[in-house]
Structure 1
Amino acid sequence: MAFQYEYAVVSQIPRSFEEFLMSPDANIQGKKGGKFDYEEACNEREKFVEALRQNGVDVLEMEADERHPECVKVDDTAVIINGTALMCNPYRCHRQGEVNLIRHTLKKELGIKIVELNTENAQVEGSDVLFTGQEIIVGISAHTNEAGAHAVARAFPEYATSIVKLPQPFRSLKDAVGVAGINVLAVGESEAAKQLLKEIGRVASHTYKVITLPEDHAANVLYINHHLLHLSSQMIPKSIGVFENKINYYRSQIHIPELFNAGVPLSKLALFAGPFGRQKNIISTIP
């Protein structure tokens, strides 16, 4: 069943991430040129991991690798659906080492079937691939192109795959829209978010209930094992009431301001897998 997970793969935070945030390559709002509290970020990540365990998820925790400063953002490296993992091609060449580590972990520890991009010029990050439980939506962004979207469609032929263009200022699809329940999408109420939702409605093969949130970043949620994880009330003061009024199933608040301001939203912190079902083939909706 969709969003029923046995395992999560996470990574500890390397000290080199702090150095990376001070470099031009970081290109994020908030912490560039500012102070990053490494210890606090580690505490936030540990509390996130504990929340996963409390929801019945067996967490495979990778040690921090100083060679790969962005390794905590594991969701960028792969897309996992029904026991198959498509290995991605994250933006910036130095991140290929992260992909290799995740590939090895998924294959050796979980026995997941590995699929490679095998497409010239394909660019795709897992953060731009939204699995709704019914279909796959791929956001075309600075980090994901159409060749990458087609690779996603080929890797998961059992689901229809559609493409949307990600409007500014969103950096990835999951920054703008999240799965908040069975056939439920969470999205912000900015003009850019409304534009994206309209495009999703145009290309999607299914219809969804939509929870509209006053703050765009509140849409970055995780729905796992019938439980919704969303940002804390301190981080989304205008949106917390919407979750309280609209969600009638278990939910937990996750407080990660240090990580979030460093370009690590909730969805980037883990890769989820299992249980694995049998696959069927259908035709993608990508033209």
Structure 2
Amino acid sequence: MTEPSYEFTRAITRRPAATIAEGLRAEDTGNPNLDTMLAAHKAYVAALKSTGAEVIELAPLPAFPDAQFVEDTALCLPKGAILMRPGAPSRMGEVAEMAPTLRACYDTVHEITGPGHIEGGDILVTGREILVGRSDRTDGAGVEELEKITSDWGYTLREVFTPEGVLHFKTDCSLMDAETILATRRLDASGCFEGYRVLHVPEGEEAAANAIRFNGLVLMAAGFPRTAELLDREGFEVVEIDNTDCAKLDGGMSCLSLRF
């Protein structure tokens, strides 16, 4: 694998629906506000487009209040897309809704058929391997099925373990460049990033670990000044996006797009 896994020409997003208050969350910190969430989503899409990428903007899906978190529905790689099998029963139907768009973009689309479960939020693609975190939403059988597909494409897949109480592997980490990962100390402590250069998000700013490197930009949640300063010092061009409403649904920067 030599292609940079942070250089993209296209992205898929989906606008939040009026039903977002029915979305899943680990703990109730209040309901998201649709108007401010839509404004933040618009800023997010604008940032992606500012790099020259084409952004496919899908319509809201009121029947699926978590559907704006499109990343969980698929894994997009240069050789093809793989439709996931979410571990949250209420999200299973989102995959069928995403399938036609991916089939229009890719000649090859595989799918995880089960019995295992796997969500895109647990998958970090680096320049050398695919890291998949076991979590409450991703199990061993799901990882095994994904490995069968990706190994045929020449990828090395490595299973790692997400800390207790952390929803997805990428809740606590993101790829900054070919050798650099932004991560929480609790995730890095597991040893899963051995051989990489790891930037630790400052204590108290753990929620900033879910960022995305998208071409020349790093999109991160606003409100974490020390993380923004760290990334700026490291030479990254940072765009801060209001994540207040998404955070109430355990969502972050990576969740809001499929990038390829």
Give the TM-score of the pair, scaled to structure 2.
0.91
Contact 2:31 2:248 in 1 (8 A): no
What's the offset of the Cα at 1:112? 4.2
Contact 2:162 2:187 in 1 (8 A): no
Aligned to 2:241: 254
Alignment of 1:134-283 (within 5 A): 134-157=128-151, 158-189=154-185, 192-196=186-190, 198-201=191-194, 207-214=195-202, 215-232=205-222, 234=223, 236-246=224-234, 248-273=235-260
What's the offset of the Cα at 1:240? 2.3
Deviations 1:232-271 (A, max 9, x none): 2x2x13322211212x143322222122222221110000
Structure 1 counterpart of 2:108, one-letter code: K
Q: For 2:91 and 2:245, locate their aligned partners in 1 and report how far apart those are by CA, in whole Å.
A: 22
Q: For 2:201 and 2:19, locate their aligned partners in 1 and report how far apart those are by CA, in whole Å.
A: 35
- The CA RMSD measured in Å over matched residues stands at 1.6
Structure 2 counterpart of 1:237, one-letter code: P
Deviations 1:187-246 (A, max 9, x none): 123xx22323x1342xxxxx22111111222211111213222222x2x13322211212
Q: Does 1:81 align with 2:77?
A: yes
Structure 2 counterpart of 1:13, one-letter code: P
Contact 1:139 1:172 in 2 (8 A): yes
Report SS of the residue matched to 1:238.
helix
Aligned to 2:39: 43
Report SS of the residue matched to 2:225.
coil
Q: For 1:159 and 1:170, locate their aligned partners in 2 and report how far apart those are by CA, in whole Å.
A: 26
Q: Does 1:14 align with 2:17?
A: yes
Alignment of 1:57-76 (within 5 A): 57-76=53-72
Residue number among 112, 116, 129 corresponding to 1:117 in the alignment: 112
Count of aligned positions: 253
Q: For 2:92 and 2:118, locate their aligned partners in 1 and report how far apart those are by CA, in whole Å.
A: 12
Q: For 2:164 and 2:216, locate their aligned partners in 1 and report how far apart those are by CA, in whole Å.
A: 32
Deviations 1:112-155 (A, max 9, x none): 4111113x421100000110121001100010011111122122
Q: For 2:208 and 2:94, locate their aligned partners in 1 and report how far apart those are by CA, in whole Å.
A: 27
Q: For 2:88 and 2:199, locate their aligned partners in 1 and report how far apart those are by CA, in whole Å.
A: 34
Contact 1:176 1:188 in 2 (8 A): yes
Q: For 2:69 and 2:217, locate their aligned partners in 1 and report how far apart those are by CA, in whole Å.
A: 22
Contact 1:184 1:211 in 2 (8 A): yes
What's the offset of the Cα at 1:27? 3.4
Q: For 2:97 and 2:187, locate their aligned partners in 1 and report how far apart those are by CA, in whole Å.
A: 34
Structure 1 counterpart of 2:187, one-letter code: A
Report SS of the residue matched to 1:156.
helix
Alignment of 1:83-102 (within 5 A): 83-102=79-98
Contact 1:122 1:146 in 2 (8 A): yes
Report SS of the residue matched to 1:64.
coil
What's the offset of the Cα at 1:30? 4.8
Q: For 1:159 and 1:35, locate their aligned partners in 2 and report how far apart those are by CA, in whole Å.
A: 40
What's the offset of the Cα at 1:103? 1.0
Percent sequence identity over aligned pairs:
21
What's the offset of the Cα at 1:15? 1.1
Structure 2, unpaired ranges of 5+ = none
What's the offset of the Cα at 1:10? 0.5
Structure 1, unpaired ranges of 5+ = 202-206, 274-287
What's the offset of the Cα at 1:8? 0.6
What's the offset of the Cα at 1:76? 0.5
